[in-house]
Amino acid sequence: MSVIAFIPARGGSKSIPEKNIKSFCGKPLIFWNLQELQNSNADNIVVATDSEKIKNIVNSFNFSKVSVYDRSNENSQDISSTESVMLEYINSKSLSDTDTFMLVQATSPFTQKNHFNEALELFEKHDAVLSCCESKRFSWRDGKSLNYDIYNRPRRQDFEGTLIENGAFYISSVSDIKKTKNRISGDIATYKMPEFTYTEIDEPEDWIVAESLMKKFILKDKTPDFSKIKIFLSDVDGVLTDAGMYYTENGDEFKKFCTYDGMGFQLLQKTGVKVGILTTEDRELNRRRAKKLGLDFDFHGAKDKLQIVKDLCAKENVSLDEIAYIGDDVNCFELLSNAGVSACPMNAVSKIKSIPNIIQLQKNGGDGVVREFVEIILS
């Protein structure tokens, strides 16, 4: 008997384009559920999608339990039901009737591994489990109250409230799903989650609210300690520039830098943080830019970036935990994986975005992304 977590992730979202992979608190939205499921008691995690882009991003996370299922076009339409793709997968893979099937929705990113595990334990005593949260809102319909006596209005703290579905997950057996063609049936238990988890991401306005809730309730203890940063370093091409290489008719090379990034370095220096660039290329124009900005360090022709920074740490008597670094490509991978605080532009390559705890910024390289990172640190 296996526990299969199943996440439908259709590519065609109209209200929020590419919703499932849009950056949410620095990671693609679908990442958050996949991360918690990877650390939960689920045996296999399946993302059912019709999108190559979603498929590539999910695979870039390199979660060992996660696989991608190519759902049919028939069950990827606006009118397609979630049950239709569930049954498609169950039948195509000939799952055992005794397997546990947990439908998880990426639009509910607040679910933690303990929620999944506790609900799976509850499922052992029931035919199905669905996630709910308690609402202490007074409900009405057609001029009549639905859940309280208007002549004896309770205080909120004394009001039992009602349980409402938050859409996070639904658990059932494969046999019951096949028999009823529904996600839950029979003796259904409710697993209660915190009230803030009622927020689902279906409209652009929901996104703003959900990110605020995520930062307040989920990420509050996972935010890097920016106060300990002593040295701030940046890659050049693809971070301080747009990664373009421009040439004149005479063969002269030039690059476009963003002045906002230059001010970002200065703002950090005013707080006592030393700043610098670290680039694989050895170009005179990069040296001139570093000199104009008055950087504390500039490393050129850097083949082993991590070793260079380790040597710098020894010289400056600081640790890697006190280094902040922003990079965008595979030659930055080792340093980004070991620095105390790491970040990347929105258009960084997938391998870089998949680094655990990396901050995925909203701007592209050359568009002021270093300034964006600096402002996060200073705030």
Q: Which of 10, 71, 137, 153 is catalytic?
A: 153
56 versus 251: the higher-pLDDT residue is: 56
> What is the C-alpha to C-alpha distance for residues 76 and 270, in angstroms, rounded to an integer?
53
Mean pLDDT, residues 181-191 taken together: 98
Per-residue pLDDT at 25: 85
What separation in angstroms does the CA of 139 have from each of 36, 154, 177, 344, 354?
33, 13, 32, 45, 43
Write out pLDDT tens, residues 130-149: 999 998 889 999 999 999 99
Q: Give the pLDDT band (50/70/90) at residue 16.
A: confident
Per-residue pLDDT at 78: 87
Question: E strand or H helix at 45, and its extent?
Answer: strand 44-49
CB 267 within 8 A of CB 235: no
Q: Give the pLDDT band (50/70/90) at residue 354.
A: confident
Per-residue pLDDT at 252: 83
Strand runs labelled E in 50-159: 66-70, 100-104, 128-135, 140-141, 144-145
Per-residue pLDDT at 46: 98
Q: Give the pLDDT band (50/70/90) at residue 353.
A: confident
Q: What is the DSSP code (8-state) at residue 215?
A: I
Instruction: Specify the 3-state DSSP secondary structure of 11.
Output: coil
227 versus 251: the higher-pLDDT residue is: 227
Which residues, other chains included, contact 330 with Cβ-Cβ below 8 Å and sequence gap of 6+?
A: 349, 351, 352
The whole model's pTM is what? 0.73
Outline which parts of the chain fall under CATH 3.40.50.1000.
226-378
- Whether 153 sits among the annotated catalytic residues: the reply is yes
**Taking each helix axis from N to C terminus, what angle separates 369-378 and 259-270, rounded to the nearest 10 degrees?**
20
Which residues, other chains included, contact 248 with Cβ-Cβ below 8 Å and sequence gap of 6+?
A: 254
Mean pLDDT, residues 47-67 taken together: 93
Per-residue pLDDT at 80: 92
Outline which parts of the chain fall under CATH 3.90.550.10.
3-218
Report whether CATH 3.40.30.10 matches the domain 3-218.
Answer: no
Handedness of CA 57, 59, 60, 61 (dihedral sign): positive
Q: What is the mean pLDDT of the chain?
A: 93
81 versus 250: the higher-pLDDT residue is: 81
CATH topology for the 226-378 domain:
Rossmann fold (3.40.50)
Asked if pLDDT for residue 360 goes beyond 90, the answer is no
| DSSP, residue by residue, 161-187 | -EEEEEEEEEEEEHHHHHHHSSS--SS
Question: E strand or H helix at 53, and its extent?
Answer: helix 52-60
Per-residue pLDDT at 23: 84
> What is the C-alpha to C-alpha distance for residues 50 and 291, in angstroms, rounded to an integer?
50
CB 225 within 8 A of CB 36: no
Write out pLDDT tens, residues 299-339: 999 999 999 999 999 999 999 999 999 999 999 999 999 99
Residue of 259, 264, 255 whose CA lies nearest to 237: 255
Per-residue pLDDT at 224: 81
Mean pLDDT, residues 56-61 taken together: 88
Which residues, other chains included, contact 269 with Cβ-Cβ below 8 Å and sequence gap of 6+?
A: 275, 294, 296
**Taking each helix axis from N to C terminus, what angle separates 259-270 and 284-293, rounded to the nearest 10 degrees?**
50
Residue for token digits 């009118």? 79
How many CB atoms neighbour CB 306 within 10 A? 18
Percentage with pLDDT > 70 across the chain:
99
Per-residue pLDDT at 266: 97
Instruction: Specify the 3-state DSSP secondary structure of 379.
Output: coil
